């Protein structure tokens, strides 16, 4: 089946009790046992398993090209479960420009459990080769990176990790459907389903997807059920509904973003545009080999630095000034004021999550905000 068909049908079935075509939301926390003491429907208690979560996990695994998935209450809860599956003394190698919340999670929580973490530039394979000279359990990548959209060569990183006996994890939050890390050799994919999967800025969730069930994934499943960082049945239902339109939404996000990147590149008030779809972007070549489209996220640097950038963000009328990404509405964010002082976040940089409005309306909005 093609991805559009999978997205509509994976995990979906009409309700056998009523014939309802849209799945009911199973709020029940507990499930009735048979007279023989068995659980005839396979469900016992909602923390360990719930029909909406099972359906969602089937759909996430299907559209990500994986064997199984585990859904969590947020993207960071999903990420944390992967680190919780490690042991004291283990070493992890993490991309230095991964989502800043993940960096904080590793530095403030994970290293406190006796796990060693090295942060490196994953776009520089020499740095990875050096880092893997010492035993590592895990290599963590995120591509395109945030907020400079640097591209990591997934296939090459996965190969190096495999040769070193390390599990390779890719945060694919920015690129569902258009980038399939499991096909490129990665072992686990993590998603913040808060973003494109949900797609409407109204749920917080996360997921871990594995190519195949194995000991590590069983540990993660155990952490999900025993640790209890699970999404509610309603949140599962919302994400599952979002998945049904995900391939089509991604197509429109990518098409709009390409138009905006080309427009911004020519604008006299713009110093640099970071978007891997631009043929002159440093990551374009690798991105073209591992993505089928270049995503709905981009950033650009306003000439005049921080104050000029803040003024542009203040003048937009359609773009909403807010963090996060992947919703139907376009967002604009002055990233340095969220992340604080960081050499990887230029003070004049604005990050865009390009939504599903008409591209011409978005271009007109940016143009008036830049030239006013
Ligand atoms: N990964 C990426 C790439 C993100 O952008 C985010 C959130 O912005 C997360 C993970 C964390 O997801 P959540 O906010 O659902 O915990």
Q: What is the pLDDT along the chain (372 residues), one digit of tens a residue?
A: 999 999 999 999 999 999 999 999 999 999 999 999 999 999 999 999 999 999 999 999 999 999 999 999 999 999 999 999 999 999 999 999 999 999 999 999 999 999 999 999 999 999 999 999 999 999 999 999 999 999 999 999 999 999 999 999 999 999 999 999 999 999 999 999 999 999 999 999 999 999 999 999 999 999 999 999 999 999 999 999 999 999 999 999 999 999 999 999 999 999 999 999 999 999 999 999 999 999 999 999 999 999 999 999 999 999 999 999 999 999 999 999 887 767 789 999 999 999 999 999 999 999 999 998
Which residue is closest in CA terms to ligand 1's atom 11?
A: 75
Token pair belonging to 270: 């713009």
**pTM above the 0.85 mark?**
yes
**Separation of 21 CA from ligand 1 center, angstroms?**
32
Nearest 5°: CA angle at 239, between 150 and 20?
Answer: 155
Yes or no: say if 354 and 330 are a contact pair by the CB < 8 Å rule. yes
pLDDT at 343: 76
Token pair belonging to 302: 């306003």
Which residue is closest in CA terms to ligand 1's atom 8?
A: 324
Yes or no: say if 42 and 171 are a contact pair by the CB < 8 Å rule. no
**Residue 47: active-site member:** yes
- 3-class secondary structure, 318: coil
Question: Residue 203: CB within 6 Å of ligand 1?
Answer: no
Element (H, E) at 300: strand 297-302
Question: Residue 171: CB within 6 Å of ligand 1?
Answer: yes
Question: Residue 206: CB within 6 Å of ligand 1?
Answer: yes
Question: Residue 294: CB within 6 Å of ligand 1?
Answer: no
Q: Give the whole-angstrom CA distance, residue 210 versus residue 217.
A: 7
Question: Residue 235: CB within 6 Å of ligand 1?
Answer: no
**Separation of 41 CA from ligand 1 center, angstroms?**
34
Query: HSE on the CB side for 56, CA within 13 Å?
Result: 32
**Separation of 285 CA from ligand 1 center, angstroms?**
26
**Separation of 239 CA from ligand 1 center, angstroms?**
15
Q: Where are the alpha helices (DSSP H) in 27-74?
A: 51-64
Q: Long-range contacts made by residues 145-148, C-beta under 8 angstroms, separation at least 24?
A: 145/95, 145/97, 145/98, 146/97, 146/98, 146/99, 146/100, 146/174, 146/297, 146/351, 147/274, 147/299, 147/335, 147/344, 147/345, 147/349, 147/351, 148/97, 148/274, 148/299, 148/344
**Separation of 189 CA from ligand 1 center, angstroms?**
13
**Residue 317: active-site member:** no
Q: Where are the alpha helices (DSSP H) in 93-134?
A: 100-108, 125-131
pLDDT at 341: 66
- 3-class secondary structure, 202: coil
- 3-class secondary structure, 266: helix
Question: Residue 172: CB within 6 Å of ligand 1?
Answer: no
């Amino acid at each position: 089946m093609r991805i559009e068909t999978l997205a509509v049908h994976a995990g979906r079935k009409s309700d056998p009790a009523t014939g309802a075509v849209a799945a009911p939301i199973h709020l029940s926390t507990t499930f009735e046992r048979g007279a023989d003491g068995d659980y005839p429907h396979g469900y016992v208690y909602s923390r360990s398993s719930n029909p909406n979560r099972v359906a969602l996990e089937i759909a996430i695994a299907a559209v990500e090209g994986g064997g199984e998935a585990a859904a969590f209450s947020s993207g960071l809860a999903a990420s944390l479960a992967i680190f919780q599956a490690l042991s004291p003394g283990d070493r992890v190698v993490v991309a230095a420009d991964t989502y800043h919340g993940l960096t904080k999670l590793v530095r403030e929580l994970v290293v406190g459990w006796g796990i060693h973490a090295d942060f490196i530039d994953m776009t520089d394979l020499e740095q990875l080769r050096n880092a893997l000279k010492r035993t590592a359990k895990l290599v963590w990548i995120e591509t395109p990176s945030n907020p400079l959209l640097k591209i990591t060569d997934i296939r090459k990183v996965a190969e190096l990790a495999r040769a070193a006996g390390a599990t390779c994890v890719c945060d694919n939050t920015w690129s569902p459907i258009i980038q399939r890390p499991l096909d490129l050799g990665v072992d686990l994919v993590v998603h913040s389903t808060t973003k494109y999967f949900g797609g409407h800025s109204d749920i917080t969730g996360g997921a871990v997807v594995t190519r195949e069930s194995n000991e590590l994934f069983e540990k993660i499943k155990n952490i999900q059920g025993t640790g209890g960082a699970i999404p509610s049945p309603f949140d599962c239902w919302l994400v599952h509904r979002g998945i049904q339109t995900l391939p089509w939404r991604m197509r429109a996000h990518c098409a709009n973003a390409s138009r905006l990147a080309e427009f911004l590149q020519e604008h006299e008030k713009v110093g640099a545009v970071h978007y891997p779809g631009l043929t002159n972007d440093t990551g374009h070549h690798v991105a073209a080999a591992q993505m089928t489209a270049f995503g709905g996220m981009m950033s650009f640097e306003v000439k005049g630095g921080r104050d000029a950038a803040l003024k542009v963000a203040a003048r937009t009328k359609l773009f909403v000034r807010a963090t996060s990404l992947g919703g139907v509405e376009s967002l604009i964010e002055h990233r340095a004021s969220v992340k604080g002082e960081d050499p990887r976040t230029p003070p004049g940089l604005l990050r865009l999550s390009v939504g599903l409005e008409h591209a011409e309306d978005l271009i007109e909005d940016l143009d008036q905000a830049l030239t006013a």
